[in-house]
Structure 1
């Protein structure tokens, strides 16, 4: 919320007005975030009020150009004559008051004004727009002041708040969702008063001097299920439709970021900013019959103030007359009763709506507004009457209106003491115990009274306590912890000591946690970069993956309130997020990628949990209250309602695995690199995965490997299917790997390697086998056949062609043989090699290549 400093301190009894930076620090001290302190740049030189006396249209140019005569009193170059100024704006007329920068003026940004010849005329200055004065960003036209603002020739800089040495400042304060009261001068002013221990004058308590209330302003019916807590209406008649908004109000609205429109609309916006109560003004002459507040009916429509026809949802709350809906409650009014430049009879509304209903309506109709922003965060229902009185008094004073004596106050909001919130009982020393600070005697009571609470001291069983009744604008104070927070933040978080907890010996990471961290380090060492993709996925990505209808990965948890409407499911696999990261990087010119992510997925379909306990499809989790700790049965039901969340690691590769350069042509990433990434992960756990061919979407059926450890399927690796790549916009030959870490065995101590001091015997064998014989299967057979002497097997060449025959290929393996206690003889090594070849021939029909 943008807040002018002069307005913020208006109701605070400060002996000396602090600077903008000091006020920002004070708000931060009491728990608010100040995003920016904007100091308006000062204007130096003769910036004056002028009255336009003559306009000459220069029609010989392609764009509108006017030569104006402006009366600037005795401040002009010739006191006896109006100042001649060339201007391109057309939103002013003869007789209007404007702001003129005469030669010698320096505007914000160092823009110096001098007399110069332009468009065939000599321009002795410039007529200024808002952005040229540093007040707002509007450049649609020059600034036209109300007629009675000042006399021509008066100094304009103090009036605009841009005088040298006294320029206005604006604070941009971020308001938390639970502090809706602070979206107003009333709320933030109270916080400033608390920060400086200064008296605060509540603007709602000011008597507006209106006539005594007699009867109702307008017949209003609030239906019980409408979500309207209070609806206050007041009527003003005989309003001068041409009455301008006073400059002081226009200036405050501009600095707060709101565009002035007309007196009636500006007054409602001003009261909203001042008191935090959004208001709406209806043209009473266009309201037909009684007003009814109800839920929208099927097929009802409304044309809102932005001239858009909107179909209403039965969940929407509508303000209606006999013609139908005339307002979308809490969001935007209807065009049929809009206040126009001829409206003289105005019906003012100040209502309080159910926050959730307004939030849903604003998002459903894509209509964010300042009113909806406040209603979503809860508006004080007790301020509605004061808001209508304030608005009516302003219209009477500046618009020559007559305030009708009637006031309508409908809805279930109780009157008097019955409107108070539920009292909260708190031990008097609870803030001291929570903060670990001995606060001065009476500090808790004093701080709670400052925020508006009624406090009664009580004691039971000899323990001092207070019974606190929160004010109507603080519905967030519902438990002792909330009251403690108020005391602590106002006393200052900086006085709470920072004490590190004592480190308990014998604790640390579990072995599973260590392995998980080692996985990240191992993949990073192998050349992969870690990413943190979204844990949610779009339903359509599973179709793009080509999954069968009964594929377990289609059983996903749907989010009730997704952060992104396009990603409404919890991910059942890590691949959607990783592939999104690839698409994003490729779109930004990065073609060679090796990315990985370690994270959990949600699998409600799993037959067993990662802890090994049997588990079927989870049931509905119960809704547990916060008044007390959940029972063991409730905790068990909550856990039973959770889906299985196994820990997985995923990796994707695309482009060049080895870049090309002066050293060579490089090498593209292939499915074998994805398999090698899986081996790297398994090696952290001291495991060697068994690799076999498989058909598993979204991988290519001919380039997909299933990975098993101790007979348990732990994941897949390989090249993704071309149709998947095309559907998701991925580069050709993109490869991926995904393993479930919870299925890998976790050993406290990994098997230590056996190191032999004796030299190895290195032998190569080339085996010819059918092309459908997996290289991994052939390698495993060689290891088994070679026995204990075979230390390592590595595939280093694959050949297919006429020399080996159609449907067959040659696979060359490098064998390393070694004995732990002696030097192998060539005969022993050859015997082990022959045994391995013989077993390969027996199992796979492999023959030694000549």
Structure 2
């Protein structure tokens, strides 16, 4: 949201010693988060109001003219090609040194030239010296305020401006705009307009708040009014609906001062009536709408839309409505999407002579849902979804009628005032104990100070040590309801920076250790740190097509009643499907991918959710799982197995791999199945577009945690003080031999073996049919002495002998 400093000054006096930057700090500290501060007209420093005294033809160019321009202290001659120049014309004159927007010539590749901000210099144009420039709106960033109606048309000020006056000052563009973070006022519907913000600022400074200028509706009423009929079918979605018809309307541009404020706040001026409704929305925070009365077909009906009903909104888009959306309609068709945008079939145009002004209050959740489903978020919908004060409806209507009277002197109310309401605000008095308040905020505040702060914010206060505080209606919709809310109000206006830092006056206790979270964090440290794997986070959802490609049946998966997208229709049973998608998305960029995820899976109980039923007592089981994928052109399965072995050792958990020939293994710990390790099926790889070999594993974290707790603290083993000896050995074995059995036998073959690491797997014609080769690096060590080469040689001979005896293994010598 954008705030105009000049607009705020209409309602609250800001001391001169408070700079715009200081005011921004005050707003951020006490009320809202200011994201940026923008000074309007900062590029207009050397642009002034000029008056053309004389026009002469250019001696060397038919389309150019020589203009003598009075800029107050001097008269200058400039060359100008403006098509609308005349003597006596007041113009925007840029002096030498001014910053001008200039369209640079296109480059060699052609296309549109880039707009640049250049400093104006004295120039010679077709042999004539030109000292300055008469500007068009686009050249000084004022095209919204002064749109060109013809080619090469310059700004014609046509007003009572002082020659030589700075243009920004003359046009009222000497303003400062504060960009407010909308999230910081989500719970403050009263701050979505300048008046509400000024009310809060008045309490912060503190400074008196100037009342809004209103004109009683009765003064504009004429005799012989027509009956305006309004019917509200759904009063829950529309707690209040006000409307009145105004005649003798003249459609024309809105006053320049109003256009300037709208533009400064990011809105495009359209015409006086539309601009007035937008102006009041920015001022009060209450959206309103004006219908062309001649285009309405009888009674205005506030109703739910019919399923499939269509309306073309003001942005020229046809939109399909559904029955949960609220529509404003006449007897024939919808004329607006309630709280979001009006319809093109009832919009104001140059032929409009009478209007119906709508000022209503709508149920916030309904407006937000409608806005999201239509993909249409407007300035109006942003405010309605914040729970606006229903009493704002009348204030906004009165303000609009007053401004219309200023714009159209002959305007008059030609109907009754329709006001249908069905709301009750929860603004019962709240008891505020002063002793409790002081303890809560940590400052001893006098009663008079507390009362002053609350009254400045609009609260009615009475009582002694326990105050009775009545909440104003603009804070009663969703904001203030309990004493803690009042404590926040007092503290923020008093100033958090004025509250001294002190230690809490309570007994501090260390929070209980979450064993499950600590266990998960330890696993992450091992996998991300030691194993060099990358952790990923995926959605907890899958879809039927994704599962079908993996030959997984979707029937037992829990279906979502209201999925975010068609890609997220089922709750996952496993982490692997989404991890595979990660591999597919990244395989072009990486030759090796090592990823893992820790997350919950969702398993139905007793088939309740598979049937579409279920209740609170039958919520799905949600165990934590660890999923891992190792994608590589080399031995992915053995590499991933090595990572799991390292994980088990680091966690002091025993992993027993129950292997099957040519496949992976089921993983047991303490006799319980905790997961599996396997290669990804080659046919499924082709089906899913996986272009590299990969291994995958999935483990149950709950069983792992129980095993880790049962294992207790791992015993300390002193680091060997004698150096190790490393040797490589390659064995040729039958392809039926299971790797895990072979490795365990290898570790037991010699007491000197401390570590075994597989570094190569080979199958080829040289080995013969049904044979494979495993190459290992063996690490030998002794706690008693430094091993010699002869010791290692003897150990290797013993190992080769035992492996041949148990598995028929032969040493590979090529």
The answer to whether the superposition gives a TM-score over 0.5 is: yes
Aligned equivalents of 2:260, 2:346: Cα separation in 1: 27
Q: What's the CA shift for 1:220?
A: 0.7
Q: What's the CA shift for 1:7?
A: 0.7
Q: Residues 5-154 of structure 1: matches in 2 within 5 Å?
A: 5-16=5-16, 18-40=18-40, 41-48=42-49, 85-87=80-82, 99-104=91-96, 106-107=98-99, 111-112=119-120, 114=122, 116-117=124-125, 125-129=133-137, 132-133=140-141, 148=159, 150=161
Question: Is the 8 Å Cα contact of residues 297 and 313 (structure 1) preserved in structure 2?
Answer: yes
CA RMSD of aligned residues (A): 4.7
Q: What's the CA shift for 1:756?
A: 7.9
**Helix, strand or coil at the partner of 1:442:** helix
Residue in structure 1 matching 2:671, options 705, 711, 733: 711
Aligned equivalents of 1:456, 1:23: Cα separation in 2: 32
Q: What's the CA shift for 1:317?
A: 0.6
1:223 paired with 2:238, answer no
1:290 paired with 2:299, answer yes
Q: Residues 643-722 of structure 1: matches in 2 within 5 Å?
A: 643-654=620-631, 670-692=636-658, 704-717=664-677, 720=680
Residue in structure 1 matching 2:490, options 487, 490, 496: 487
| Distance verdict in 2 for CA 1:760–1:239, change over 3 Å | closer
Partner of residue 379, structure 1:
388
| Distance verdict in 2 for CA 1:383–1:533, change over 3 Å | same
Q: What's the CA shift for 1:347?
A: 1.5
Partner of residue 468, structure 1:
470
| Distance verdict in 2 for CA 1:506–1:206, change over 3 Å | same
Question: Is the 8 Å Cα contact of residues 445 and 455 (structure 1) preserved in structure 2?
Answer: yes
Stretch deviating more after TM superposition (130-139 or 519-528): 130-139
Q: What's the CA shift for 1:13?
A: 3.4
Residue in structure 2 matching 1:771, options 735, 747, 752: 735
Partner of residue 590, structure 2:
591
Partner of residue 449, structure 2:
443
Partner of residue 805, structure 1:
768
Question: Is the 8 Å Cα contact of residues 236 and 401 (structure 1) preserved in structure 2?
Answer: no
Q: Residues 329-408 of structure 1: matches in 2 within 5 Å?
A: 329-404=338-413, 406-408=415-417
Task: Output one character per residue of 1:690-733: Cα deviation in whole Å (capped at 9) or x when no partner.
Answer: 335579xxxxxx76554333333333445545677677776633
Question: Is the 8 Å Cα contact of residues 598 and 647 (structure 1) preserved in structure 2?
Answer: no
Task: Output one character per residue of 1:550-607: Cα deviation in whole Å (capped at 9) or x when no partner.
Answer: 586x347x48585x785566655445665666667678xx535655455432424379
**Helix, strand or coil at the partner of 1:351:** strand
Aligned equivalents of 1:520, 1:194: Cα separation in 2: 51
Q: Residues 200-215 of structure 1: matches in 2 within 5 Å?
A: 200-203=209-212, 210-211=219-220
| Distance verdict in 2 for CA 1:25–1:122, change over 3 Å | closer
Q: What's the CA shift for 1:270?
A: 0.5
Q: TM-score, normalised by structure 1?
A: 0.78
Question: Is the 8 Å Cα contact of residues 737 and 807 (structure 2) preserved in structure 1?
Answer: no
| Distance verdict in 2 for CA 1:536–1:46, change over 3 Å | same
| Distance verdict in 2 for CA 1:689–1:357, change over 3 Å | same
Q: What's the CA shift for 1:689?
A: 2.5
Partner of residue 107, structure 2:
none
Aligned equivalents of 1:792, 1:757: Cα separation in 2: 16
Partner of residue 273, structure 1:
282
Stretch deviating more after TM superposition (526-535 or 363-372): 526-535
Question: Is the 8 Å Cα contact of residues 246 and 414 (structure 2) preserved in structure 1?
Answer: no
Q: What's the CA shift for 1:687?
A: 2.7
Q: What's the CA shift for 1:404?
A: 0.8
Q: What's the CA shift for 1:33?
A: 0.7
**Helix, strand or coil at the partner of 2:474:** coil
Partner of residue 168, structure 2:
157
Aligned equivalents of 2:87, 2:569: Cα separation in 1: 59
Stretch deviating more after TM superposition (812-821 or 449-458): 812-821
Aligned equivalents of 1:192, 1:130: Cα separation in 2: 35
Q: What's the CA shift for 1:322?
A: 1.9
Q: What's the CA shift for 1:267?
A: 0.9
**Helix, strand or coil at the partner of 1:203:** coil
| Distance verdict in 2 for CA 1:198–1:66, change over 3 Å | farther
Aligned equivalents of 2:533, 2:726: Cα separation in 1: 36
Q: What's the CA shift for 1:532?
A: 5.3
Partner of residue 2, structure 1:
2
Structure 2 unaligned spans of 5+:
101-116
Task: Output one character per residue of 1:115-155: Cα deviation in whole Å (capped at 9) or x when no partner.
Answer: 55379998962323257247979988778678556488765
Question: Is the 8 Å Cα contact of residues 692 and 706 (structure 1) preserved in structure 2?
Answer: yes
Aligned equivalents of 1:782, 1:478: Cα separation in 2: 73
Structure 1 unaligned spans of 5+:
608-614, 623-636, 656-666, 696-701
Q: What's the CA shift for 1:813?
A: 5.6
Partner of residue 329, structure 2:
320
**Helix, strand or coil at the partner of 2:675:** strand
Question: Is the 8 Å Cα contact of residues 82 and 154 (structure 2) preserved in structure 1?
Answer: no
Question: Is the 8 Å Cα contact of residues 20 and 176 (structure 2) preserved in structure 1?
Answer: yes
Q: What's the CA shift for 1:677?
A: 2.4
Aligned equivalents of 2:551, 2:700: Cα separation in 1: 19
Aligned equivalents of 2:574, 2:450: Cα separation in 1: 52
| Distance verdict in 2 for CA 1:245–1:816, change over 3 Å | closer
Q: What's the CA shift for 1:789?
A: 8.1
Q: Name the count of aligned residue pairs.
A: 777
Question: Is the 8 Å Cα contact of residues 72 and 163 (structure 2) preserved in structure 1?
Answer: no
Q: What's the CA shift for 1:373?
A: 0.6
Aligned equivalents of 2:88, 2:482: Cα separation in 1: 58
| Distance verdict in 2 for CA 1:73–1:682, change over 3 Å | same
**Helix, strand or coil at the partner of 1:12:** coil
Question: Is the 8 Å Cα contact of residues 453 and 490 (structure 2) preserved in structure 1?
Answer: yes
Aligned equivalents of 1:287, 1:710: Cα separation in 2: 79
| Distance verdict in 2 for CA 1:368–1:49, change over 3 Å | farther
Question: Is the 8 Å Cα contact of residues 247 and 414 (structure 2) preserved in structure 1?
Answer: no
Q: Residues 739-754 of structure 1: matches in 2 within 5 Å?
A: 739-744=699-704, 745-746=707-708, 747-753=711-717
| Distance verdict in 2 for CA 1:298–1:759, change over 3 Å | closer
| Distance verdict in 2 for CA 1:722–1:259, change over 3 Å | farther
Task: Output one character per residue of 1:252-278: Cα deviation in whole Å (capped at 9) or x when no partner.
Answer: 111101111111111111010001111
Question: Is the 8 Å Cα contact of residues 301 and 310 (structure 1) preserved in structure 2?
Answer: yes
| Distance verdict in 2 for CA 1:815–1:722, change over 3 Å | closer
| Distance verdict in 2 for CA 1:594–1:765, change over 3 Å | closer
Partner of residue 548, structure 1:
552
Partner of residue 662, structure 1:
none
Q: Residues 236-315 of structure 1: matches in 2 within 5 Å?
A: 236-241=246-251, 243-315=252-324
